[in-house]
Each structure stands twice: as structure tokens, then as C-alpha cells.
Structure 1
Amino acid sequence: MLQRIVHFSLKFRGVLIALSCVLLGYGLYVAAHSKLDVFPNFVPPQVEIQTEAPGLSPEQVEVLVTRPIETTVNGLGGMDSLRSESIQGLSVITAVFKEGTDIFVARQMLAEKLNEISGQLPVSVKTPRMSPLTSATMDLLKIGLVSDKLTPMQLRTLADWTVKPRLLSVPGVARCIVFGGQVREMQILAKPDRLSAYDLSISDVMNVAKLSTGVMGAGFVENANQRIVLQTEGQALSAEALGEVVIVRTNGLSVRLKDVAEVKEGPEPKMGDALIQGRPGVLMATASQYGANTMEVTLAVEAALREMQPIFDQEGVTLYSRLHRPATFIEVSLKNIKHSLYMGGILVGVVLFLFLGHFRTAFISLTAIPLSLLTAIILLDKFGITLNTITLGGLAIAIGEVVDDAIIDVENIFRRLRENQELAKPKSAFRVVLDASLEVRSAVVYATFVVALVFLPVLTLTGLQGSFFAPLALSYVFAIMASLAVALTVTPALSLIFFAKGVRNSKEPRLQVWLKRFYGRIITSLARWPKVVMAVVGIVCIAAVLMLPHFGSEFLPEFREGHFVLGVQMIPGTSLQEMLKMGKEISDELLKNKNIATVEQQVGRAEQGEDTFGSHRCEFHVELKPDVSGEDQETLTKEIRAVLEKYPGIQFEVMTFLGDRIGETITGETAPVVINVYGDDLDTIDEKARAVAQVLGTVKGAKDVQVKSPPGAPRMAVRLRPDRMTQFGFRPVDILEAVQTAYQGAVVAQVHEGDKVANVTVILDGANWREPEEVGSLLLKSAEGLQMPLNQLAEVYLTTGRYSIMHDGARRRQVVTCKPEGADVTSFTAEARKQIVSKVMFPKGTYAVFSGAAEATAKAQQQLLLNSAISAVGIIILLGIVTGNWKNLLLILANVPFALVGGILAVFLTTYFGDPGEGGLTIGSLVGFVTLFGITTRNSIMMISHFEHLVQVEGMNWSLETALRGASERLIPILMTAIVTALGLLPLAIGSGEAGREIEGPMAIVILGGLITSTVLNLLVLPTLALRFGRFSKAAQTDE
């Protein structure tokens, strides 16, 4: 079959080259129009369910809202986990589905379940709704609006009714969440003294206010020949008109709303707020739709903002359009990866020319790079995989293998053509090229399939690790398979076109002659001491194995994306004003740093936002200036910590945005170390969580230790007394509505002005009513007109409670988080586990479970090892077919450990002598070892196969002379492959700390270190051991 393919390619070489040019052009088109992103979609299918429960406490939300919904949706087909958080007035449930689940089907199933439960929830609870379907990173673009001309209410109105609709109209934008400013509403501020004077209650005001305004259709009038639509108008559009609405008539006089209340435009109660560059403003966070092209949507949103710039200028609004722009990281990352590819390609070209000594042979070898890589990009596009730093990294590490396929073919063809010219009766160029290609092609095919099998364990990884590394393995396999196809077709065709008239210079290049002569002397010397060679190899391998326990391991490295997220938490119950005051001080201090471009603070939560923050929690998003190096970002992390440490009593964590999102994907929390304390009794799990946090803080390297939701939030309890209500004729719902209206405000109607909508809210006026001790004095009125203060009908007292109650799998939990510093996550977690088990005693029914990056790393490593063991069986079977006898098979397998020694040494050097934060075993470096295994096995196969060819095809006896000739003829291809691969990866390794190279950098370092020992192995150790233990018999040919 191989002969037919090569023969067909040579016969129709002109057509083949034309088709290759078409493929090249199409590949460039696909590459230019492919979706671009930082990483593949790493978030498993998940749906967030939010249910508003106005006024309910966290305990009430848990029992009345969260548990019924959890019971209904738990166990849904394909569901992997179910997390929830119940806070005052809101239940948030996150349903995570198994990998591969169709997210649209999952949402449909959830929608059907939610329809079943909606009628079973309390009347005051709103209908559960699913959050919009967004991309993995969610954030698309964060913008800030600041104005010295507009009031906070006018600025928020501009954001809500002008900017937000325009941004949501951009294709690909899923949602736009707004923080800060003041939301306009019509407020009816009831005066307690005036209500008493007119013998009215706040319930009377609320009932009348519900009827004060509205929009209603009136039908039509129809006669014999016309139908006339009735349009009613009379909606109160202003505070003045609303104030004229009559509550009651007494003694012929009308008591209007304005007689007992102040009617005005005012701000809605805030659940959150924002500072932009330390100034009050409005923050708008957009998110992209699931599957949208992040770059395209970002550019479209920025174009929409430019269209609105005249409006901003006219209104005196300053626009901060890049408070957070993930597309910038995409641009920088892809630029760095592409730069590495370009630099690697140039260096490869130089090396090929120097070694081959001929421009045409170098050109033929180089054509394999664009053809193979662009074919791989086309295949990735057809499989729906984006171009990102991971897939491009896979293409980068494949360059060596891609060029190697062409080098093996070109070098052998060129050598055979040169030998053919020296014959008395030379063969035709067609026959020489065909025979030379087939001579090495069989071994190359087997070697390529072995490499593909080597990557099978990476391809079959699941979960977050699979999301990251399976696309890398896929792009690598696509590239080497495309390279194999190019080597079978295009390379022989070009060789025949360029060398149809023979080789002009029949002499070997001087560099090759010198290298082979020097190499021959070394092999001759080593052949005398095979046992010494074996002893040295054994000692080196044992030393490398002894190094392994001293390496730390990380799941993923720190990302240098140029954007930090600072999570800050004060004691529960801290007011928005206090958080904003602290936020301004921190913002001003951070902005003094020369590397920081913008700082925004978001306190609490926004309407319909995904966060469940209270007023005591906030986030700062710190955007760095362009071109801040990875080393400077590491320094900046410490400087930011130093600023936050000036504020005693706060808990904080410093993260990158992607690190934050990846952490949330693994456990629902942002920190790399997460300890969940489960139990039934809230007081017990809170107590044990504090004990765990105390022990965790003593572990070396512990930073940012936090209890996620500590108790202690101040609370005013109002416990109704049924006996008193019965005695005086009060109904529970009347009392509860009155209290809610007085302190939260009751939305009773809406005012429509064009496309703008404002709520009409009734609320109790008076600053003294905001004092805790005055709550019990709230005046209530029964249906019979009896007025009594609240404290006569209920117990009113100040207490403490919880801000939030969390569940995981419908079990109550408390969460302790930590971010290790100066220690790898795996070893830190092992030590923390040991300390907690020995020092914290858990009562029956209460227990702690570790999760986070360390658990993900262990799971990924176990899965990689198990899959590797299965893959090894297939590799051994394939190698057995190639070698034909078990001794040669053992020769190849025995050499692999020595090849990995260089990778282990590279990890050791970067761990102990590299920059802080670099080194250690990451999943990326483990993938590097897998790649190294493939390269070594491939080269070993080619060497052993060439020995077999010399003995079985050319009839040479197996001896030192045969071994020397076979090794010498493989010298140049092995050296070129090693140097080409090394130079292709060198830019990635050098810039491993820069944006976009954080994952590929460790891989490149491992492969570079391993290439050194792998090359030594294949050129020096393998021929020596093969000469002593190998079996290459002419009889093998006869048997076939």
C-alpha cells in the first residue's frame, strides 16, 4: 500500500504540488478566520438557578426555597454535583453536569423540573430562573462610567436605559450586569406622625399606592363600518401627580398621599456599589454567549462603545473601557506563541541548511512545517476546537517530529541519489526516489503510530485536566499524522522535481564528514566497554529516580495575564459605606504603582449577578499596564499584598482572573486549597471550621486562610406572638407586610416613561426608624382600626446569625480556603491534612473533605498513569511487530528511562535554581515527559529498523562495522531532529513565565532537557547495547 501511495505521488507530482498549494491557501484562510481564545472551554456543563425571596433570612431561604428546589432537581440525568448558597433574599443553586452532556438538553430538563416546583414555593418568592448561558471565563469586557456633571441617579439611568440595551444588542453578548450609581424609583415616604394624625396605617398607604398608577388596555368600540381602539391615559408619571392620589375622604375632605407622605424620586436600596479609579461610578460587566468568538464579540462591543462616545462627551461622562479585557490576554498570549513558532521556524531553516549543505534539501524539509501545521489547524476547526495557547502549544512541540519525517526522507533520498551517480549504470531518478522513500517509510509509519499511542493517555484525560490537555494532544497527533501524509506524498514529489537530473555535488558536506568520522571513533571506543556503559546508564537512572520525591507538584502554574482579582472580606454586617471608604484608600494606594493602569472595586452584589456577596465582601479588579513582564507581575503580587496587609481585621486573597475561574470550576471556590466541613448542625460545623482554619494557619506557607461564611452577622429578630395577635385581632401576613414595607420598602406599582421603567415603592420615612432600638415602636393597624406598636405583638430583639448557608450535594457545609505561598500545593495539602487529622476532633456526623487543586492534581496523575499503563500494552504490541524479536524490543524499552533523565534534571534545575514560582511537576511537565517518551521511542525504532535493513536487505553481517555504518547513517537525521526540536521549543522555554507560555513553558523545559539525554542515548548507548545484545539475522528475511 505504501508503495502505491508513493508511486502515485511521484507519477502525478505536478497535480500533487498544485493540490498542496490549494491546501496551503485554504489552511491560511481557516487560520485567519478561526475562533481565538486563551484556553479551550474548560468549564463543565453547568446551570445556575437563582430564586429571589425578598426579605427572607438565610435560614428561611434554605428551608423554604433552596431545599425544595434541590430535592426536585437532585438526581437529574447526567448531573455530577449540586452546590447551593442561601443568603438573605436569594437562593443560588449551581447544577454541574457530567462532561459531554448537551448543555441545551440539560437546561431544558431543569426548566421542566423548575416548572413543577414553582407552585410549591411561598407566595412572596419569585419564580426560579436560570442564568444566561455564558462562555467559560464569563467576563467579556468591564467598563466604568464616571461623571462630575451627572448625579449618581442620572449616571445609572444612562447606563441602564442607553448603554446596556446597546451592548446587549451586540451579537454574542449574553448579559450585562450593572453595579453602582442609584437606581431611580418613585418613593412614597410615609410619615409616622401624619399617619397617626389621620388615623391611618402604613398598610393603608400601601393599598392605595397599588392603585395609584398603571397601564391598562381598554379594548375597542365597533360600529357598522369601523373599529376604533380605546387608548386610556392617566398614568401618574411624576411625583407631583402621584402625591395627588386620594387615600380616604373624611368629613368631605380628601386625604391625599402627599398629606401623609413625602412623594419624590429617590434611589432604590442598594445591594452593592462600585468605585472606578477610587471615584464613585457605574461598573458594567458584560459576558459572552456560550460558544461565541471572544475576540470578535469584544471588538464588536468596543465598536458599539465608540458609537456612543458622542453621548458620553455630551453628558460629561468619562468612559473607562478596559477595566478588564480578557481579549488582551488572548492577543498577548497568541502573539507570544506565534512569535515562538516563527522564531523556531527560522532557526529550524538555518539548522537544516547548515547540516544538509544544500538549499533545495533544506527547502523540501521546511515545506513540511506549513503544510502539516495548517492541515492540523483545518482538522481542529472541523472538530470545533478553537485556536488557543494550548492547541498552538501542541503544534509548537510537534515541529521537531514534523521536520523529522521530512528530514529522514530527504536525507535518505539525497544520499541514495548521490550514491547512484557513482554507479557504473545509474538507475533512473524516479526509481531511486521511490526505493529510497520506501526504505525508511515503513519504520516511520510504525514510529508515528507509536507516538500517537503515547499520546492516547493525554487524549483520554477527563475533567478540567482533559479540557486543557486533550486539545494539545489532539493538535499534536493531527500535526504528526499530517506530517506522515506529507512525507509519503509531497516530500518524494518535490525531491523528484528538484533532483530529476541528479545531484550536482556528489560529495557529502564537510560538516557531515567530520561529524561521522568523530562519531565513529566514539562508537568504536564504547563498543569495547558495554558493561561500563550499562553501569553508567543504571547509576544515572537511579539518581534521577531518587530526585523525584523532592519535587513538588502543581495542577497548573500561575498565569501572568496582567490582571489581578483581590477578594476582600470584613466582618459580616459591615456597611457599604465602610467598605467603600476602605476601597477608596486601597484604590488610591494601588494606583500609585507605576505598573497598574486601572483599579475598580465592586462591593456586595448586583441585581441578577452571579455572586452572592454581602455588603461586607468586595472584589478589586486590578488591570496592569501593557508589557509588564512575568517577573514584574510576581513582584507586584507581593506589593499588592503589602498594601492590603495595612488594614487589620480584613481577610483577603490575591488571584489572577483565570486562576479564580479555574478554582471555581474545580470546587466552586477561588482558592487552590479548599476544605469542606460537612454536618447537620450549623453551630457545630461553624465551630469545627474555625478549628480547621486555626490549624491550617500554622502550616508552613499558609496564606489567605479564610472561613468562607463566618457566623456573627448582626440581626434583628422579630418573633410574632400568636396569643397577642389573636387577642387584638391582627393577622400575621398584615404584620409581616407592614414590617417589610417599613424597612425594605414594598414595590406596589410601576411608572412607564417611553422605554424606561421605574418602580413605585412605599417605605417608612424618618431617620429614627433606622435605629435598631426603634424597630419595636413601629405602629401597626388591625382590620378593625386598632393601632398598636410592633413590640406589643412580637418579641423584638438584637441577635446574630449567618450571612449565608452553603450546601454541597444537598448537605450543609462550611468552607475553609487557603492559598499556599512558597510551597507547592500538593505537599502543602499533604502536611495540612496530617495536621488537621491529628489536632481537630470531629463529632459523629461531622467530617472534613479536602478538595481543590491538590486533589485535581492527584486525580489527573492517577488517571494519566492508569491510561499510560493501558497505552503501554498497545505500544509493546506495535513495537513487537516492528522489531520482530523480543531482544530488540527490550533494547528499545530499556533505553526509555535514560531518555527521561534529562527531563527530570531540567525540572530539578528550574525548581531549585529558577525563578520563584517556577519548577515542580505540573500536569504540563508530565505531558512533556509523555512527548519525550514518544520522541525517544521513535528515534530508537528508526535506529533498530535501519540495522535490520542493513542486515536483511543489503546482506551485511551483524558486526561492529555494520553497527558503525547504521549508526553513522542515522547520525545526521537524529542530530538534526534533536537540534530542530530544541530550537523550535527554545523560545517557549526561555519565555516560560510570560503570558500564554505558562503551560507550554514547563513542557518545553522538560523536552529540552530530555532531548540531551535522548540524543546521547540514541547515538551512543543504543548502538553499543545493540552490538552486544541485539539480534539481526539474515534468516529473518528468508522466513518472511
Structure 2
Amino acid sequence: MLNKSIKFLIENKLVAVLLLALFVAWGVVNAPFEWNTGSLPRNPVAVDAIPDIGENQQIVFTKWDGRSPQDIEDQITYPLTTSLLGIPGVKTIRSSSMFGFSSIYIIFEEDIEFYWSRSRILEKLNSLPAGLLPDGVNPALGPDATGLGQIYWYTLEGRDENGNVTGGWDLQELRSIQDFYVKYALSSASGVSEVASIGGYVLEYQVDVNPELMKQYKIGLNQVVKAVKQSNQDVGAQTLEINQAEYLIRGLGYVKSISDLENAVVTSEDFTSIRLKDIANVSHGPATRRGLLDKEGAEVVGGVVVARYGANPMAVINNVKEKINELSSGLPSKTLSDGRTSQLTIVPFYDRTELIQETLGTLDEALTLEILITIFVIIIMVFNLRASVLISGLLPVAVLMVFISMKLFNVDANIVALSGIAIAIGTMVDVGVILSENVLRHIDENDQNLPMNTVVYNATAEVSGAILTAVMTTIISFIPVFTMIGAEGKLFRPLAFTKTAALTASLIVALFLIPPFAAYFFRKRNVKISFRYILNIALVIIGLLAVIFGFTLGLILVAFGIVGLLSIKEKLSADRANIINIFISAFAIVFLLAEYWRPLGVDRSIFWN
């Protein structure tokens, strides 16, 4: 079956070309790097800097203001923990009780689906027996995110038109804008699980009662609380029909100002209303807080954007930035006492984009340099330019195929996963070298003048079984890595997957794509001398134009063109021209490595590097 497929592709080279075009286009679409694909759509692999090795956990958060940790532990944490133990798939439960709130961490088995576990927790919370928790206490499930979900932090700051910090905004103003404008806008960005506000003061109405006046009017604190609650509500009634038109009757009572609360009636005596302002002082004030956000020694207001579980962090950050650009025009501004205009601005101070781009940039550069070094070694060792081109073409195509498999199997592109590709490059090249060397040997020994398709097929069929066995042995050796569990498995499984995918891709390219292209490249051609003249002169002209526009590598094209012209005029033999072309190619690769790699450092010249 294997040899029949190889023979079919050798005889039908158009199918091989279409397969190559499919792999290249599909791989470019799924590539995690910021490539300009032109008219091709972009559906990149999810990108992050490091793999998420956290446990499969959910968080249940419960507030009970003003209570001590011991009360929280006895009346909330312990009853909730014992009730949640019965959820299917629970591995362990950890909890902590702090002043005013309880946090319960439910750790599930690794094979439990993330959102399935959330639904089971919600079912259990909704079916808690009556009286298990204190009145008015409602536990809430945390955001659908992991420990690496915090992808973007920002602050709200006043800036002038030159971007300089101006100040002029108090912490209560900033917190209100964050809570009621910025937070809601960013929460609507695709892939965002939660936007948490940090810092500043939460505005609230505060009622400071006078005990002496309350004693004088014989008013209890419960009456004050009841009056405040009842003063902040609308009342709905029936409808009234007038002239065949129906009118809705509403009693408006929502609190909109301090005076609304001050005029709330607490009780009455001798037909005289005793209002809240008669026994208490009503004012705006900050809610009690237990933390703040500090930036360079100054207290600021900001927020944390948390990415949803399974979302592409890079895509979520881009969506958040688009939302920030949209809402920036609606942020308020004020004129300061010195005449400057202070425009409220969203300023990032943690953006994972930089870390992700640096990680991808490092690996992109490493892969490029590895491929260049490998091509250089192939050219020197194989000493055949056509065979070197075939083998070298295997690498980028196989890497693009790995991106396809990563997208299909939902493997994120991070520093560990992409390292697997870098590790596999040496083995990937071995497959192409073995096949190309055997094809060249069969071509040299073709005394019977067999067709090139037959020669390439015989050479490929001779080593296909050995190549398949060798690669499968390496792939099978990584099976134990796939069986790892816990944090170790999450860390190393992506590396094993990408290395296995890279080897599989190189096997597919070597056995099914290299043979048909080898049969085309190695066949003897009867090219007209006039066409060869035109082609080599064109190379010289293009090379000279490249040099004029500042591209030094244009000299390589000039050298190829001159060698071709000398070969046409029989000043050089075919073998000698091939040797010279090989040295020119090797010199070009060495120049590229010296220019971009700089192994001895940027302080040394290109010559020494």
C-alpha cells in the first residue's frame, strides 16, 4: 500500500503539487506568527508564553461582611466543604477563611471537563438544604478561568495632550468610572471572563445615627434600617384608562441624592413625621476596603482582565485593545486649576503580548537559524545542489504541517511546544538525506537508461520500509511522555506532541512529496541555449538591481548568473559549475548566519562572525 501510494504520486505529479500547495496554505493560515497572509484568512494556533500547568480547579467564593475568620469557618466554609465533597470527579477540596469572606478551591480529576465541573457545582449550590448557611449569604462560583488567565492589567490616569501625567482625579471618581463604564465595556470583548476592579474607593451612602436623639424619640436601630430599605424602591400599581388610552401608574421612590434619604420617614409622633435627617447625618463616603493598588509609590485605580478558559490569550488581548480604542473617546476630561486639560486615559502596566511576542520571536529566530545551518550542512555533505534544495524544502513544509496538527488537536503554541519542533529538526532532515542519497545512487547506476520515474520509484521503495521503521521507533519512544499526568504531563505533553507531529510530517513529505519532485528535478532536460542565456542574464540584472537598492545578497544572484553564462560558453564543465554553485550557496548561508545570528556578538564584524 505504501509503495503503491508513492508510485501513484510519482506518476501523477499534479496531485503532489496540489498536496504541497494545500499543506503550505493551510499551515500559513494556522501559523502562530504574525505573518501577512494577504488574501488568505487567519486562523492561528492559540498562543501563550508558557503552558498552563495548573490544576483542574473551580473556586466558590462567599462574602459575609464583618464576620471573623472563625465565624466564617464554622458557619460557611465547613458546611459548604462537606456538601461539595459529594460532587462526582472531585479529587480534593481546599479552603481558606478570612475576615469577611470564604474561598473554597475544588480540585477535580484531570479527565473531568472544565465546564461540566462548573455545572455540577452550580447544581449542588442550588440544592443546598434550607438553613445550612446564614440568612442573606449566597455563595458564588468564580470566573471560568485558570491561574494564567490574568492577561492584561491597566490603570486609569489623567494625562495631557502630550501624554504627561496631570492628576486632578480623586480615587472615588476613578473607581466609579471604572465600575460603571470601563468594566462593562471591556467585559463585552470576546474571550473575556471577568474584569476585576482594583483600588480606589467604592462610593456608598453612609448614615451616621445619633444615639441620644434616637433615645429621645424612642427609635430603635431596626426602624432606621427598615426606613432606609423602604425608601429606596419603586412601587407598581394598576393602569388607568383615560379617553381610550391606557396609562401605567408607578410610584417613584429610588434614591437619587442625599436629600432623598434625609427625607425618609422613620416614624411619626402626634401627627409629626420624624425623618432620617432628624436623628442621623447622611453623607457620601467610601466603603470599607482591605487593599489598594500601588503604582510607583502612588495609589491608583485600575482593573485586571481575565481570559476565559480555552480562549486564545493573544486574540483576547487584541480584542481588549480594540475595545479600549472604542471607549477611549467616551472617557471624561476636566480642566485643572492651572489651565491644563486632564483627559482620563487607560494605561496598561502588564500586557502579556510583549512576553508572547518575545517568546515567539526567539523561537522563530531559532527555527530560522536551525534551518539555515541544516541547509548549509546538507549542501556541504550531499554536494548536490538539486538534492540540497529538495531536502531543505522538507523543513519549512513539515513545520507548517505541525501547525496544522496543533490547530486540529487544540495544542497551544508556547515555548515548550515550539521547542519540540526545534528538537526534531535534526531527525526530520535525516529522512530526506537518506532518501535523496539513495535516489542519487540509483541515478548514477542507471546503466539500462530506465525512465526517471522508475529510477526514483525503485530508489524510494528500497528504503521506504527502513525510513518508516526508523521514524516509528522514535515516535513510539515518546509514548510514555503522553501517559504522564498532573503538572508534569501538562508541561511535557505539548513537547512530545509537536516532536511526534514534526517527525510524522517529515515522513509524509519525504515519502510522498520528495519522490515526485525528485523525478522532475533530476530528469534530463533539453533546454534551448537561447533560453538559458536569457535566464542567466536576467539573474545578473536582478542581482545588480538588488545591490543598487541596498540588498547585498543580490551579489549571489549575479554570481549564479555569471557561472551559468560561463557554463553555456563551455568555459566551465558541468561538474565544475555545480561545485562553484554549491560554494556560492554555502557562502550565502554563512553570510546570512553571520548577519542575523552574530554568534560572537554584535560588537564583532560580520567577517569574524
Question: TM-score, normalization: structure 2?
Answer: 0.78
User: Does the C-alpha gap of structure 1 residues 136 and 435 become closer, same or farther in structure 2, counting only changes over 3 Å?
Assistant: farther
1:302 aligns with 2:302: no
Gaps of 5+ in 2: 32-41, 159-166, 335-341, 528-588, 601-609
Structure 1 stretch displaced more, 146-155 or 492-501: 146-155
CA distance in 1, matches of 2:355, 2:189: 22
1:182 aligns with 2:201: yes
Q: Cα distance, 1:226 vs. partner?
A: 4.5
Q: Secondary structure at the match of 1:281?
A: strand
Q: Secondary structure at the match of 2:484?
A: coil
Letter of the 1:20 partner, please give it. Answer: L
Q: Secondary structure at the match of 1:166?
A: helix
User: What is the match of residue 62 of structure 1?
Assistant: 73
User: What is the match of residue 441 of structure 1?
Assistant: 464
Deviations 1:984-1007 (A, max 9, x none): 9xx99x99xxxxxxxxxxxxxxxx
**Which of 213, 236, 239 does residue 232 from structure 2 map onto?**
213
Letter of the 2:97 partner, please give it. Answer: S
Q: Cα distance, 1:190 vs. partner?
A: 0.8
Letter of the 2:16 partner, please give it. Answer: L
Deviations 1:784-827 (A, max 9, x none): xxxxxxxxxxxxxxxxxxxxxxxxxxxxxxxxxxxxxxxxxxxx
CA distance in 2, matches of 1:66, 1:82: 11
**Which of 44, 48, 62 does residue 37 from structure 1 map onto?**
48
1:86 aligns with 2:97: yes
1:323 aligns with 2:349: yes
User: What is the match of residue 26 of structure 1?
Assistant: 26
Q: Secondary structure at the match of 2:16?
A: helix
User: What is the match of residue 497 of structure 1?
Assistant: 520
CA distance in 2, matches of 1:288, 1:83: 24
Deviations 1:69-102 (A, max 9, x none): 1111114211111111111221111111111211
**8 Å CA contact retained: 1:139, 1:285:** yes
1:139 aligns with 2:150: yes
CA distance in 1, matches of 2:278, 2:286: 22
CA distance in 1, matches of 2:66, 2:403: 54
CA distance in 2, matches of 1:502, 1:444: 30
CA distance in 1, matches of 2:172, 2:66: 24
**Which of 440, 465, 482 does residue 488 from structure 2 map onto?**
465
User: Does the C-alpha gap of structure 1 residues 399 and 219 become closer, same or farther in structure 2, counting only changes over 3 Å?
Assistant: farther
Deviations 1:310-369 (A, max 9, x none): 444624355463221122211110111111111111222222222222221111001211
CA distance in 1, matches of 2:246, 2:219: 46
CA distance in 2, matches of 1:503, 1:84: 80
1:191 aligns with 2:201: no
CA distance in 1, matches of 2:270, 2:242: 45
CA distance in 1, matches of 2:300, 2:80: 37
User: What is the match of residue 302 of structure 2?
Assistant: 283
Q: Secondary structure at the match of 1:217?
A: strand
**8 Å CA contact retained: 2:233, 2:252:** no
Deviations 1:169-226 (A, max 9, x none): 1111111111111111111111233333434343332232222221232242358954
CA distance in 2, matches of 1:47, 1:324: 25
Aligned residues: 508
User: What is the match of residue 427 of structure 2?
Assistant: 401
**8 Å CA contact retained: 2:75, 2:134:** no
User: What is the match of residue 11 of structure 2?
Assistant: 11
Q: Secondary structure at the match of 2:49?
A: coil
Letter of the 2:314 partner, please give it. Answer: M
Deviations 1:106-145 (A, max 9, x none): 1111111112226233433421111120145120211012
Structure 1 stretch displaced more, 403-412 or 370-379: 370-379
Deviations 1:425-455 (A, max 9, x none): 4433223222221222211111111101111
**8 Å CA contact retained: 1:53, 1:124:** no
CA distance in 2, matches of 1:74, 1:123: 20
How does 1:921-1000 map onto structure 2 within 5 Å?
none
Identity %: 27
Letter of the 2:377 partner, please give it. Answer: V
**8 Å CA contact retained: 1:365, 1:410:** yes
User: Does the C-alpha gap of structure 1 residues 313 and 230 become closer, same or farther in structure 2, counting only changes over 3 Å?
Assistant: closer
User: What is the match of residue 384 of structure 1?
Assistant: 410
**8 Å CA contact retained: 2:152, 2:352:** yes
Structure 1 stretch displaced more, 208-217 or 172-181: 208-217
1:475 aligns with 2:505: no
User: Does the C-alpha gap of structure 1 residues 394 and 191 become closer, same or farther in structure 2, counting only changes over 3 Å?
Assistant: same
Q: Cα distance, 1:475 vs. partner?
A: 1.3
Letter of the 2:4 partner, please give it. Answer: R
**Which of 345, 356, 369 does residue 371 from structure 2 map onto?**
345
Structure 1 stretch displaced more, 312-321 or 397-406: 312-321
**Which of 115, 122, 126 does residue 115 from structure 1 map onto?**
126
Structure 1 stretch displaced more, 231-240 or 296-305: 231-240
**8 Å CA contact retained: 1:337, 1:392:** yes
Letter of the 2:389 partner, please give it. Answer: F
Q: Cα distance, 1:18 vs. partner?
A: 2.8
CA distance in 2, matches of 1:317, 1:194: 46
Q: Cα distance, 1:33 vs. partner?
A: 2.3
CA distance in 2, matches of 1:486, 1:499: 18
User: Does the C-alpha gap of structure 1 residues 484 and 194 become closer, same or farther in structure 2, counting only changes over 3 Å?
Assistant: same
CA distance in 1, matches of 2:194, 2:343: 23
**8 Å CA contact retained: 1:146, 1:280:** no
Q: Cα distance, 1:306 vs. partner?
A: 2.4
CA distance in 1, matches of 2:246, 2:290: 49
User: What is the match of residue 366 of structure 1?
Assistant: 392
Deviations 1:962-1011 (A, max 9, x none): xxxxxxxxxxxxxxxxxx9xx99xx99x99xxxxxxxxxxxxxxxxxxxx
Q: Secondary structure at the match of 1:242?
A: helix
CA distance in 2, matches of 1:251, 1:2: 104
CA distance in 2, matches of 1:219, 1:288: 46
User: What is the match of residue 932 of structure 1?
Assistant: none
Q: Cα distance, 1:263 vs. partner?
A: 0.9
User: What is the match of residue 474 of structure 2?
Assistant: 451
User: Does the C-alpha gap of structure 1 residues 450 and 228 become closer, same or farther in structure 2, counting only changes over 3 Å?
Assistant: same
CA distance in 1, matches of 2:238, 2:295: 49
User: What is the match of residue 126 of structure 1?
Assistant: 137
Question: TM-score, normalization: structure 1?
Answer: 0.47
User: Does the C-alpha gap of structure 1 residues 412 and 405 become closer, same or farther in structure 2, counting only changes over 3 Å?
Assistant: same
Gaps of 5+ in 1: 505-979, 992-1040
CA distance in 2, matches of 1:376, 1:73: 42
User: What is the match of residue 238 of structure 1?
Assistant: 257
Deviations 1:535-577 (A, max 9, x none): xxxxxxxxxxxxxxxxxxxxxxxxxxxxxxxxxxxxxxxxxxx
CA distance in 1, matches of 2:185, 2:304: 14
Q: Cα distance, 1:250 vs. partner?
A: 3.3
Letter of the 2:480 partner, please give it. Answer: P
CA distance in 2, matches of 1:205, 1:313: 37
User: Does the C-alpha gap of structure 1 residues 330 and 430 become closer, same or farther in structure 2, counting only changes over 3 Å?
Assistant: same
Q: Secondary structure at the match of 1:349?
A: helix
CA distance in 1, matches of 2:419, 2:64: 48
User: What is the match of residue 411 of structure 1?
Assistant: 437
Letter of the 2:20 partner, please give it. Answer: S
CA distance in 2, matches of 1:498, 1:413: 12
**8 Å CA contact retained: 2:328, 2:346:** no
**8 Å CA contact retained: 2:405, 2:501:** yes
User: What is the match of residue 1009 of structure 1?
Assistant: none
CA distance in 2, matches of 1:307, 1:183: 25
How does 1:133-172 map onto structure 2 within 5 Å?
133-147=144-158, 148-172=167-191
**8 Å CA contact retained: 2:203, 2:285:** yes
CA distance in 2, matches of 1:74, 1:333: 41
Q: Secondary structure at the match of 2:125?
A: helix
